[in-house]
Amino acid sequence: MSNPYQPFKAKILNISDETPNIRTFVLEPEQEVRFLAGQFVELTVPGFGEAPFTPSSFQFERDRIEITIMKVGRATTALFKLGAGDMVGIRGPYGNPYPLNKFEGKEIFIVGGGVGLAPLRALFLALAHEINKYKKIYLRYGARSPKDIVYKKLIPEWKKMKGVDLDLSVDVGDETWKGKVGVVTILLKEIPCDLKNSVAVVCGPPVMMKFVTRRLLEIGFPDDMIYLSMEKNMSCGLGQCGHCRLGPYFTCKDGPVLTWDQIKDIKDPF
């Protein structure tokens, strides 16, 4: 019987800086990580522990995966000290992917905040791969300041894609910034979607998710058409250890993406 607690090796091929505290790690796992957009992996930083991350690369490119990570705690601080050629551990994928079949024929309204764009990039790439299946892709992204924007080189390319409508804002601008200024909800003042045939997908810090959800509901998105990344302390990833409990769910097993309809009756879900 296989051992679900056992990671396998993954070599760091490349590391690139996204922002002062966010980096993208390109990993070459020793065996395929057959993830689908929205699923996560448990990454072992040797000697420092394990933490869950959602890959941000294209789901069918399996010999190497990219994970965009913010330095926030013990494991990520140790991870940021590693370089190309170093080895990390990986196990997974875990959790449920975005239900892309349910998204077909619809307008997809994606809202990201900060490093929350990382898992949304995997979704975006999966959607863009078969863009004719979807009516339109909207991407709204907010960061604290221009230097906190992730995927700075990729965003202009996404903007040019046919069928994609992309808009950005920063909480605080600087002399280089010519775009919108304000928290991400300023991008939601007008939502050009046909609400009868749209889904919203949100990922970002808890407080941002709370206000974005409030706005989406206000404008008329149905409860079951709002998909939220509800990651908690997904320690084992297997639906066993209990730490990621959110109401009736273990977010590692039942999520990490849940609809507002699934969580609306939970006390303080964010």
The 10 Å CB-count burial string (b at 16+, else e) for 65-101 is bbbbbbbeeebbebbbebeeeeebbbbbbbbbbbebe
Measured CA to CA, the distance from residue 190 to residue 171 in angstroms comes to 18
Question: Is 48 a binder of other proteins (CB under 8 A)?
Answer: yes
Question: Is 156 a binder of other proteins (CB under 8 A)?
Answer: no
β 136-143/164-170 pair status = parallel
Nearest CA-CA partner of 137 in 160, 116, 114, 115: 160
Residue 241 known to bind ligand: yes
The one-character DSSP state at 243 is: T
Question: Is 206 a binder of other proteins (CB under 8 A)?
Answer: yes
Question: Is 13 a binder of other proteins (CB under 8 A)?
Answer: no
Residue of 39, 44, 59, 229 that binds other proteins (CB under 8 A): 44
Minimum CB distance to other proteins, residue 91 (Å)? 9
Question: Is 8 a binder of other proteins (CB under 8 A)?
Answer: yes
Minimum CB distance to other proteins, residue 71 (Å)? 9
Measured CA to CA, the distance from residue 128 to residue 112 in angstroms comes to 17
Minimum CB distance to other proteins, residue 183 (Å)? 18
Question: Is 133 a binder of other proteins (CB under 8 A)?
Answer: no
Residue of 82, 155, 233, 264 that binds other proteins (CB under 8 A): 233
Measured CA to CA, the distance from residue 35 to residue 41 in angstroms comes to 8
Question: Is the CB of 79 or the CB of 187 nearer to other proteins?
Answer: 79
Question: Is 248 a binder of other proteins (CB under 8 A)?
Answer: yes
Stretch that binds other proteins, among 124-132, 181-189, 194-202, 239-247 (CB under 8 A): 239-247
DSSP bridge pairs for 200: 109, 226
Nearest CA-CA partner of 112 in 54, 161, 59: 54
Measured CA to CA, the distance from residue 46 to residue 89 in angstroms comes to 7
Question: Is the CB of 50 or the CB of 66 nearer to other proteins?
Answer: 50
For residue 31, give Cα distances in angstroms to 9, 37, 39, 156: 8, 18, 17, 33
DSSP bridge pairs for 107: 136, 198
The one-character DSSP state at 178 is: -
Minimum CB distance to other proteins, residue 72 (Å)? 3
Residue of 34, 73, 84, 192 that binds other proteins (CB under 8 A): 73
Residue of 102, 129, 133, 243 that binds other proteins (CB under 8 A): 243
Minimum CB distance to other proteins, residue 267 (Å)? 6
Residues of the binding site for [2Fe-2S] cluster: 236, 241, 244, 252
Residues near other proteins (CB under 8 A) are: 1-9, 44, 46-51, 70, 72-76, 87, 89, 206, 231-233, 235-236, 238-248, 253, 267-268
